[in-house]
Amino acid sequence: MHALEVPYNVAGMAVNNMCFLIALLALYELGREWLPEADARRAALYAAVFPFSFVFSMVYPEGPALAAMVLAGLFAVRRRWLAAAVCGALAAYARPEGVLIVLPLLAAVVRSWPSLSQNARARACAAVLAPVASLAAISVYFWTVLGDPFAWSSAQHAWDRSLTLSGPYHALAQVVTAPTHDRSWLFRDAAFVLVYLLCLFVAWFKRLPRGWIAAGLAMVLLPLASGSFQSEARFGLLAVPIYWGLSLAGRRTWVNRTVFLASPALLAAGVLTIVQRWP
C-alpha cells in the first residue's frame, strides 16, 4: 500500500461523512417544503439508517453528489438561483447522473417564472444550465486529455458494462442466470431496485413534485442500460424521492417499526460483508 493511500482514504471518508450529514439536514429542510414536519424528519432518519447508507462513508462520490443535489433543490425552491447553480454544477461534477438535477430545477423555475424579474429569470436559467455545462466541461476535458469525451462511460467496460438499448434485457438475463455464474449477490441489487421503484411509486401516488420523481426514476433505471444490476443499490441512493416515499409509507406504525428494526441490522450486515462483495 502506498504511504499516502491511508491518509488519503481517511481524509476522503471524513469529507464524505461531513457531506452526508449536510445532505441529511438539507433533505429534512427540503422535505418540509412539501411534507408535514414529522414526515420530513422521518425521511432524514430513514436515509441515515438506510441499509446501504454505509456507502456515504466510503471513498465514493455519492456523499458529495447527494449533498449537492439536495442543496440545489433546496436553494431553487427558495429562489436562491446562483447558489442552486453552483450546487447543481457540483452534483454533475461528482457523478454524471447528477446532471439529472436539471429536472427538479427546471420544474422549480417553471413554477416561479411568472413572478420573477428579468434579472431573476436570468439567474434561474443559469441554475438550470449549470449542471449541463458542468458535465459538458468534464467531457471536453476528457476529450482533450484522453481523446474520449465519454471516458466516464468507457471506463465501465472494465466491469463488462456498456450503455445499449438492449441493456435492460441483458441485466435481467444476468440476474436470472446469476446462481449458475456465482453471482447470487446480484439478487441484492435487484431487490433494492424494486424497493426504490416502490418508494418512488408511493411518492408519485402522494403527488410529490414530479420533477423530483422523474429524476429519481431516471437515476434508478438508466444504469440498467449498461446491461447489469451491479452496483444498482449504490446508484439508487441518489434518487432523493425514495426517502420521501419511504417516509410516507412509514406513517403506518408497522412499516415504521419494520424500517427502524430491519434497516440498522441490514446496515450492519452490509458493512460486515463488504470484503465479500464491494458495493
Q: What residue spans of the chain are helical by DSSP H?
A: 5-31, 37-49, 62-77, 81-94, 102-112, 118-146, 151-154, 167-176, 186-205, 210-221, 232-235, 241-249, 253-272
Helix 118-146 vs helix 81-94: crossing angle, to nearest 10: 20
Q: Which of 1-15, 242-256, 260-274 has the lowest mean pLDDT?
A: 1-15
pLDDT tens, position by position, 118-159: 999 999 999 999 999 999 999 999 999 988 888 877 777 666
**Residue 2 pLDDT grade (very low, low, confident, very high; cuts 50, 70, 90):** very low
Name every residue whose Cβ is closer than 8 Å to that of residue 50 and which is 6 or more positions away in sequence.
237, 243, 263, 267
Q: At what angle do helices 5-31 and 37-49 cross, to 10 degrees?
A: 160
First to last CA, the chain: 21
Q: Say yes or no to pLDDT of 4 above 50.
A: no
**Higher per-residue pLDDT: 177 or 151:** 177
CA–CA gap between residue 127 and residue 187 (Å, rounded)? 38
CB-side exposure of 49: number of CA atoms within 13 Å?
18
169 pLDDT exceeds 90? no
Q: Which residues of 206-239 are buried (b: 16+ CB within 10 A; e: fewer)?
A: bebbebbbbbbbebbbbbbbbbbbbbbbbbbbbb
- In this predicted structure, the answer to whether residue 1 has a pLDDT above a threshold of 50 is no
